[in-house]
Each structure stands twice: as C-alpha cells, then as structure tokens.
Structure 1
C-alpha cells in the first residue's frame, strides 16, 4: 500500500510559495504565523512561508509537551532562522492556562470523552494563541493540515488546528509532504519521527489513534475516489478501507460548510 509521491517537488514548492506571497499581498498583511509542533507538516509549512521573504513567526505552544517533540521543534526553528532572516520565533507556554481551564470545567464520568475533550481543548487554546500573535503582528495563520487529514479522515480539531486563514499544503498527500520535506532539507529527526498530534501528553502516534498508517489511508482515499466499496477488498486492505470510510463519514461535519437553517420566504 506504500505510495511514493509523484509530484514535481521543486515546481510544487515554487507554486505554493508564489501562492502564499500573492495571497498575503492581496490581503495586505505582513506575513504568516505558524504553530510549530516538531512534526513534518508544521516544518514544511513554515519553510514554505519563510521562502516568501515575508515575516514568518514560528510559535511554540507547549502544554505538558513530550521533550522529544519540543527538541525537534526547536531544532527546526533554529535551522529555519539560520537560513531565512525573515523568520522569528516566540514561545507561549500554555501549560498553566490549560491547568486553570481544567479547574473550571466538570470532570466527566466518561473518561474517554473527558480525555478527548481535553485534547481538543489543547488544540483550541493553541488556535486562540496563534490568532493573538497574528492580530498584533498583522499576520495570517497558516494551517498545517494535509489532504489525508483535512479531507480524508478529518484528523484534526474543529476550531483548533482546523481554525486557520489559509492552508498551503491541504492539497498534498502525506507522501507529498515527506517529499517536500526532503527537498527542503527539513531536519532528519523530524523526517523519521512517527507522526503524532501530541494532544494527549503521552507517546501515542497518529497511527495508534487512527488504526492505520498514512500510507494505508492515502491508498484508501485514492481507492474511495474510484468509487470502490468495502466488498472490493479482503484482508488488511478491507480493514483499512473500512477504517477510512468510517472516519470519513464520522468526520464529514468538519469538511463541509456549517449547516445554515434557511427560512422559507413566507416567514
């Protein structure tokens, strides 16, 4: 199921950079703000933004963060600052804010729902922080979601990491993001790290949560676009395709416009 990216990496890189620059100029803003997680998507997104020559603010927002994730993020930021004079960075530690929030909300008897709600709260606190930095600096919040996450399985937090001004890599499959990361010389520590959203304060990976790897989900997304059904597969392929269809259906509300109650004209 492993799929190697077929994109023209340099051409794609240049296209996205030009798109970012033109969008920012039309919006009359100074540049971009990117939340840095220590993962591949935020590393690629911030590098694309940096190439525009416009102000690119990298923001670290730890909340009980795994030290390995923190170190990877710092390594990337330092490398980016050494390559691009328009890159700056700031740390906004949200750990105390998160802990205060927890004291003001009830503890649910359903531990799974409680922990998931807290995980999503972390993402929403970070979104709020990014928009604060964007507001005081005249910047746009650049999203870091890729195509599989944003439009395949909906693996992001609504109004959390899904709350952005523009999405530079949302038309790229995960394999494409890795291809760009290699081209952009993103630190190897990030390229080889297992993808994780880092929202639970433990070592669980995206694959642990999703039940399938990004290579597998990318395959399933492409098969789904061919109008295939679960009955067309067997074994692991059937299992993966079922996982993809279940997540795609359950998270459709994230991918579609907010439903609006349209009143009849006679009311």
Structure 2
C-alpha cells in the first residue's frame, strides 16, 4: 500500500480508516452460482457456492463510512477506484481518502482479459477486480462470484519444451511478439521490453518468462565457467613456457679466476 500526503495527516487517516473497518458488517452472500465442468482427467464435476457481489461489498463499506463523521455530521473517509483496462488485462487499485487529504493506494490487482472486444464480459471482469480490491482493502471476506469464472478455470501453466519456448508469442504493445526475442531486448537494455517483462502476466506467460530466465542464467554461468577455465589453461601454458625457457637457457661459466687474481700492484698472479 502506498501512502500519499503530509506526514502530520497520516494519524487522521489511520484513525478514520480503523473506525470504518470497525463498523463494517460482513455482507450477506445472497447470490448463488453452479459451476460444472470436467477435470484434466475428463471426470465431470458440479458444485454450488454463494457469494457477495460488488454491490453487496460496496454497500457494506459505504454504510460503515456513514458512521465515521465529525460533530457536524460530515463523513470523514471515503474511497474510489483507479481502473486500467488494456488489451493485456484489467488492473484495479482502491484509493482510500481521508478528509485531511491524506490517502492510500492499495496494491494493484490484475487479471488477464481473455475476452478482449466483448464489452459485457470485460465489464464483468472489471466488476470482479473492483470487488476483489475493495474486499482486500477493508478485510471483507467474500467468495468468488461468477464474474471470475474465467479466472477460476485457468489451467495450471505447463513446462514448455525448447521448441515451444522458442516459438512462444505474447501480446506486446497491442501486437503479437516472439517472447524469446522480447526477452533478449530486455537483456540488451531496451527499457520498454524490460518494463513489460517486469509487469503482470498470465500464469502461462509467467512460466515461459521464468524458463527463459533460467535458460539465460545457465548460459551466463556456462560462459563464466568457460572463461575461468580458459584463464586457468592460459596460466598453465604460461608456466610451462617459462619452465621450458628456463631449461633452454645456457649456463654461464664462472670466469672470475680465468686470468688469475689481480694484486694491488696491478700484476696478475698465475
């Protein structure tokens, strides 16, 4: 959670936030949905569950904020959403605002939109993301609703083969791009590619990025080990050459007494 505002106003924000949370009544899970399908082994399944939708959660929070007022009855705390809808997915943050002007921004929640171009399903996904973010901000327990069925039915990511990884494509700035090439651009220092790699991804995209990252680390490790080995071999060869030069160097004969000893008077004594 990110906090914005004057430090002196943070105490006011914290007090009113705590008061709102204390007054929240858990919303009734008045909606019911039936889920059916097949497991990965082909076995059919069906189950039902209840949930509180966005309207239920919003009502619970707003009723609590109405109880946190000053002497004149003015509400001291409120919230709103920051929604970002792109061809990659939907992300939502909840902005928690105090009367002092101090506010907090919750961590971003992001969901892949598998129905880009379908306004109704996209709206449902946004609704789900809002409910998820708001519930998390105020500690409200709510079950997943039918807006999240696409999210619930995402299969576990699989480990890709080398060929699959080499040919894996993603949506980058609205167009399909080869992930391996995009990853290499990030390694080469291209800022846009680096930002995309660090961003939010579907489980399968994240798996592919992880595998590329592991492969890159292995290659770098192999390079370092090969370089170290080459340096060690070079040192060994240099020592060997020094030893060979030492053996080939002719021995110098001691000629100090070849002409006898030179006495003080300058005549040699033989």
TM over 0.5: no
- Structure with higher Rg: it is 2
Which one scores higher on RCO, CA 8 angstroms, separation ≥ 6?
A: 1
Structure with the higher strand share, 1 or 2? 2
Structure with the higher helix share, 1 or 2? 1
TM-score category of the 2 structures, normalised to the smaller one: under 0.3
